[in-house]
A and B are shown apart, each in its own frame.
Chain A
Amino acid sequence: MAFSPKFLQRVSRSLNSINNCRLLSSSTDSRVLLQHSEAASRPCSSFVHNNNNHCHVFSRDFCSRTSSFDQLNSQGPAAIDYSASLQEDEFHKLADATIQDLLEKIEEYGDSVDIDGFDIDYGNQVLTVKFGSLGTYVLNKQTPNRQIWMSSPVSGPSRFDWDRTAEAWIYRRTKAKLLETLENEIEQLCGEPIKLS
């Protein structure tokens, strides 16, 4: 998709011709709608990302092209072509195995260590671990980027890429490894050590 200059130019042109417009989306499904108060000469475009029964009117420019993806990322802090590094099925195998492993080990940890309000849940490929009032971890796959995303009550959000040489999930900005980070943080949070690697 001509996501950066052309696409946004096109969008901004249609937006400028609209009096009252708003970029907004519903909470969970990242649905984007352009609303206008009066019937504009241009059609109202609806962009829907994920599988949804009400999914319709998909702009034909809205499909990924690696070249514009690079362009997009080259303007951001990390200029990496994610899809080339790891094939999708390989990614799914690695990421699923990692998350499944974490699920089992953390569940076992929760059973052995007495943490008030401990809860672990794996639904819709999202792993949520609640350490009661100490905080909540959310781990999920981000397939387009071939990353595992983590939200930590200790270190905030981080995104891990698979490093073939190290055979580990690494957060490029800090060079931190996913499993080690979790081990350190969970020990820091709950007082008891945990073995994840």
Chain B
Amino acid sequence: MLRHATKRILGLESPVATRILPRFYHERVVDHYNNPRNVGAFDKNDSTVGTGLVGAPACGDVMKLQIKVDEETGKITDACFKTFGCGSAIASSSVATEWVKGKHTEEVLTIKNTEIAKHLSLPPVKLHCSMLAEDAIKAAVKDYEAKRGKSVASTTAKS
């Protein structure tokens, strides 16, 4: 029922509706909406997990992006997200989880919102969603580094 309603909204069902709509989602955004990648959650108390939580519900967008890091290599082995927001926000954070996998935590800090926006062909009004996704990545890495810092400090204190 929901799919039917959204298909109507997106104008995917009737060709007449598609012609009338002045703007519509890029197919990549629709793809992430229909086939969401990496939706889920890791245990945030796990020492190998970094959690980035950004946004404000009052603004309409909240993203939680989590990364699982291999402690030896510093590479991100897995990522997942949960986003409350518009289709563009969901797609941006979904793309972010795809792009961080397999990369070093330092490398992912160079992922720019402009790249995400270009990849999804986001219209001007939705560029803020891509910025939020970039912030979510940075926040997740920051959280992981902070946790690591704390555990290193506690082990040195013990010894």
Residue positions of A touching B, CB distance < 8 A: 1, 3-4, 8, 11-12, 22-28, 30, 32-33, 35, 47, 49-50, 62, 64, 69, 72-73, 75-77, 126, 135-138, 142, 144-145, 149, 151, 153, 156-157, 159
Q: Which residues of B contact A72 (CB under 8 A)?
A: 53-56, 62
Whether the pair B82, A12 counts as a contact (CB closer than 8 A) is yes
Q: How many pairs of residues, A versus B, come closer than 8 Å at their CB atoms? A: 107
Give Cα A26–Cα B128 distance, bound, in whole angstroms: 17
User: Would you give the 0/1 interface string for B125-146, flagging 1 where the beta carbon is closer than 8 Å to chain A?
Assistant: 1011011000100110011000
Interface-facing stretch out of B33-41, B68-76, B96-104: B33-41
Give Cα A33–Cα B9 distance, bound, in whole angstroms: 15
Q: Which residues of B contact A12 (CB under 8 A)?
A: 41, 82
Closest to B128 in A: A157
Whether the pair A25, B84 counts as a contact (CB closer than 8 A) is yes
Whether the pair A64, B57 counts as a contact (CB closer than 8 A) is yes
Whether the pair A151, B139 counts as a contact (CB closer than 8 A) is no
Q: Which residues of A contact B6 (CB under 8 A)?
A: 24, 26
Most buried by B among A25, A26, A126, A149: A25
Most buried by B among A24, A35, A137, A151: A24
Whether the pair B54, A75 counts as a contact (CB closer than 8 A) is yes
Q: Please give the number of chain B residues whose Cβ is less than 8 angstroms from any Cβ of chain A in the complex.
A: 44
Q: DSSP class of A's interface residues: helix, strand, loop or mixed?
A: mixed
Whether the pair B138, A77 counts as a contact (CB closer than 8 A) is yes
Give Cα A135–Cα B123 distance, bound, in whole angstroms: 11
Give Cα A23–Cα B38 distance, bound, in whole angstroms: 12
Whether, in the assembled complex, B16 has its beta carbon less than 8 Å from a beta carbon of chain A, the answer is no
Most buried by A among B61, B62, B127, B143: B127
Whether the pair B139, A156 counts as a contact (CB closer than 8 A) is no
Whether A30 touches B128, Cβ cut-off 8 Å, given contacts A25-B84, A25-B86, A25-B90, is: no
Whether the pair A32, B127 counts as a contact (CB closer than 8 A) is no
Whether the pair B113, A157 counts as a contact (CB closer than 8 A) is yes
Whether the pair B131, A76 counts as a contact (CB closer than 8 A) is no
Whether A76 touches B124, Cβ cut-off 8 Å, given contacts A23-B39, A23-B90, A156-B131, is: no
Closest to B60 in A: A30
Give Cα A50–Cα B53 distance, bound, in whole angstroms: 22
Q: Which residues of A contact B57 (CB under 8 A)?
A: 1, 3, 49, 62, 64
Q: How far is the CB of B130 from chain A (nearest CB, A)?
A: 7
Whether, in the assembled complex, B114 has its beta carbon less than 8 Å from a beta carbon of chain A, the answer is yes
Q: How far is the CB of A13 from chain B (nearest CB, A)?
A: 10
Q: How far is the CB of A95 from chain B (nearest CB, A)?
A: 15
Q: Which residues of A contact B2 (CB under 8 A)?
A: 33, 35
Closest to B58 in A: A144
